[in-house]
Chain A
Amino acid sequence: MKKSTLASVISSALLASACGGSSTNPQTGTSSYTLKGTVPGTLIEAYCDDGSTYSVTSTKNGTAEHPFEIKLPTTLACRIVMITNEDDAENKVITPIKFIDVDGKASIAVKSSADSVDVGHVDLSMTRADMKADDNDDGVEDKPKEVTVDDGTLTVVVKANDPLDKDNDGIPNVYEDDDGDGVPNHDDDDDDGDGIKDIDDNDHDNDGVPDDDLDGDGIKNKNDVDDDNDGIKDKYDDDDDDDGIKDDDDDDDDNDGIKDEDDDDHDDDDKRGDDQNLTVRTAKKFTLPTTYVADATGGRQLTAQCAQCHGTNGYSVGRIDSLSEEQDEIVEEMAEMSRERNDHIMKAQAKGYTAAEARSISNYMRQIVSKYGRK
């Protein structure tokens, strides 16, 4: 799952600051511990149970052993991946780490209740030629490197079915190379090689079953606190799907083409699969007036002009937002949408209406909602 351009910008910004030894860390409010050690010049990444990701680059100190510190959440098991030559797509070497703890248990998933864990020096291959084994030539070591931490600070978590490592080979899903093109999923903008870019693909493994897992890390979006694996948790991330459209303007924050709650069967595996997505029904039974009341504000007519896409009186039957659920945000949203740089149809439509007209629509929708409710 290769990052979009915007994400690349963010990542390089993080990398730039990471050279100074800073890192993306668990956001405030969660307890954390520090995993530290030394490595050759390396990017260290962590993939945790809730779908969150953390990263840091080691600090140059004039020796071959660069120190690093990365803060990780205390309560979640995380998997550590170390990458040398990380800025060189052709030559980078990716090494997942399997830890062995004081009890002799081994796993790529670890956690700690200590303040800090020192893993000592981790010697990593710096070039593809030095790799231990890479049968599929994707730059990822075929077997994780084993690192022993036997001082009791680190707890290995052995999982029978690790969602982040579905085939249990010690290589996290994001560093598998599903389509065998020599580019691991993490760096591949089309993980399954089906010709559909990951950002548009709701079925990264091409098994015909929608996986609702934008970043392909194994944690479904609804359970994933960082849907796009950009290191910024969704609740802090104003662009969850990394499509370059800010969530406020993106009717589809996870970029699967549909809102999660409406996500029933959009798998494209059946030639008539989308047939089911045409829904013609009455969203709401409205009371017919006993006498005619003219609307001098114009809000009724303007709102009716939204109904072709948003449903009669703003109650949508399809995957488009109901105005009845955002009657107070219409003015702000239309203003925002008209300014965005994207190919959303509402960006164009929003420019067709004045702020006064948007207020008029909002006022009319408040009347409708007060009478018929939000849904």
Chain B
Amino acid sequence: MNRRHFIKWTSVGIASAWGLGSLSMARAAQPFKVVVMGGGFAGATAAKYLKLWGGASVDVTLVEPKTTYHTPILSNLILNDSISPAKLGMNYDTLTGQYKVTHKANKISSIDPTEKRITLDDGSTLTYDRLIVAPGVDFKYTNTYDVNKVPHAWQGGAQVTDLRRQIETMPSNGHFVMTIPPSPFRCPPGPYERACVVADWLNRNKPNAKVIVLDANPDIVVEKESFGARFSQYGVEYHSNVKVTAVNSDTKTVSVSGAPRASYTAEVLNVIPAHKAGASALLSAAGLLSGDWAPVNARTFESSQVSDIHIIGDAQATGVPKAGHIANSEAKVCAEAILNSLHGKPNNSAQKINSACYSPVSATEATWLTGTYSYSDSTKAWIKVNPSFAAGPPSRKHYREMFGWSSNLFSDTFA
């Protein structure tokens, strides 16, 4: 009997499971233990909603080494000095205080899916009835180089502040060169948004500076009309189908193929490398990965390879966009599915998740992009509800709405 069938069988009859004397079954009593790995938009939302809906029936432990999480969302506004970095720092005080989530400021060093146990970097262990893995993304570097000199600034926090400092101090006729990774990558509008925001700032502050965008994709991935128009307006030099082959952080040179030149040297070089699931060594050792990402049952986000472990957010492989808003969305579906499963309740067949993002394109204007997905019982996948997919043009109104959106998204996740 493989483990999956074993679990399915035992969930039908808890009494007989007790009789088997299985350690994991002995633990399957209330309060259930759910461990969440990763305190970003996916993990923090899952922890909060498990307690909001599950209350005393579930113990939730959030394992996240950081005590302050810096959101990548809105972080391009640090690059044009429109927002202070501290403003994007989120803590877990409400989750631990109001929602009774236990926060362990540790890294997970190993996962044992058979014993349903994780080991932390301090040597302590935690057992779980369900484990939610929300590690975000990691990068596939072309070669070893100093990311302090060539930051990706794609995970919020210190690298973004570093990149801002570099932009601020670059010579007035300097070059800002950024590379965009091949899809799928976190936040599809993000790199184009960044190029716009930086170009707009440079145009106003260092009008002789030059912005060059080297995109691995065949074209602007999303909102081409808005971003393309802004690239023209700002004088951004854009090349598609450009593959990064090497990065030299000492000379700040990126070697490429498919661009007019074989290499670009810049005063400020922002290479955003190709993505893979975060904590990939750990996930790989636990048998969760297939290629770069973790395949899941789309309805519950349970791993299709390992029982009782769910993967949400950027690391999972359902094919929906990788971004904070939809990660929050997935987390709620996953949290309810876990609670229903632990309590022996059925899931509703129909379900929806959604993606939404506002992208600043200057210090005063933003665009939006949105869409809703419906779970299909027949294809076992998240299917686009086509009429709901749309983009909004740059406007000051959308820029202001962006703060209404992010205030609620951040609060729904962290507060």
Name A's B-contacting residues (CB within 8 A).
196, 200-201, 252, 255, 257-258, 266, 268, 271-272, 274-275, 277-283, 285-286, 288-292, 294-298, 300-302, 304-305, 307-312, 316-320, 338, 343-345, 347-353, 357
- Docked complex Cα distance between A322 and B82 (Å): 27
Which A residues are CB-close (under 8 A) to B58? 292
Supposing A320-B405, A348-B390 touch, asked if A294 and B345 sit within 8 A by C-beta, the answer is yes
Which A residues are CB-close (under 8 A) to B346? 294, 296
B408 touches A307 (CB 8 A): yes
Which B residues are CB-close (under 8 A) to A272? 81-84
The answer to whether the Cβ of B100 comes within 8 Å of any Cβ in the partner chain is yes
The answer to whether the Cβ of B169 comes within 8 Å of any Cβ in the partner chain is no
Q: Counting chain B CB atoms within 10 Å of each CB, which of A286, A302, A316, A352 scores highest?
A: A352
| Per-residue A-contact encoding for B383-415, CB less than 8 Å = 1, 0 else | 001011110110111111101111111111011
Contact of B372 among A282, A286, A344, A349 (CB under 8 A): A349
Which B residues are CB-close (under 8 A) to A320? 401, 404-405, 408
- Docked complex Cα distance between A308 and B331 (Å): 12
B388 touches A348 (CB 8 A): yes
Interface SS, A side: loop
Contact of A351 among B345, B387, B398 (CB under 8 A): B387
The answer to whether the Cβ of B328 comes within 8 Å of any Cβ in the partner chain is yes
Return B366 CB to nearest CB of chain A, in Å: 10
- Docked complex Cα distance between A14 and B363 (Å): 40
The answer to whether the Cβ of B6 comes within 8 Å of any Cβ in the partner chain is no
Which B residues are CB-close (under 8 A) to A289? 53-57
The answer to whether the Cβ of B130 comes within 8 Å of any Cβ in the partner chain is no
Return B297 CB to nearest CB of chain A, in Å: 16
Residue of A nearest to B335 (CB): A304
Return B281 CB to nearest CB of chain A, in Å: 31
B352 touches A292 (CB 8 A): no
A308 touches B388 (CB 8 A): no
Name B's A-contacting residues (CB within 8 A).
48-49, 51-58, 74, 81-84, 87-88, 90, 94, 98-100, 325, 328-329, 332-333, 336, 339-340, 343, 345-346, 348, 350-354, 356, 363-364, 368, 370-372, 374, 385, 387-390, 392-393, 395-401, 403-412, 414-415
Top 4 A-B pairs, shortest CB-CB distance: A352-B372, A352-B388, A318-B407, A257-B400
Residue of B nearest to A301 (CB): B336
Which A residues are CB-close (under 8 A) to B55? 288-292
Residue of A nearest to B325 (CB): A308
Return B152 CB to nearest CB of chain A, in Å: 23
Return A44 CB to nearest CB of chain B, in Å: 35
Return B363 CB to nearest CB of chain A, in Å: 7
B401 touches A351 (CB 8 A): no
CB-defined A-B contacts under 8 Å, sample of 14: A257-B396, A258-B404, A274-B400, A274-B403, A280-B410, A288-B51, A291-B57, A292-B55, A300-B53, A307-B332, A311-B408, A320-B408, A343-B395, A349-B356
B336 touches A278 (CB 8 A): no
Supposing A283-B411, A298-B351, A348-B389 touch, asked if A278 and B403 sit within 8 A by C-beta, the answer is yes
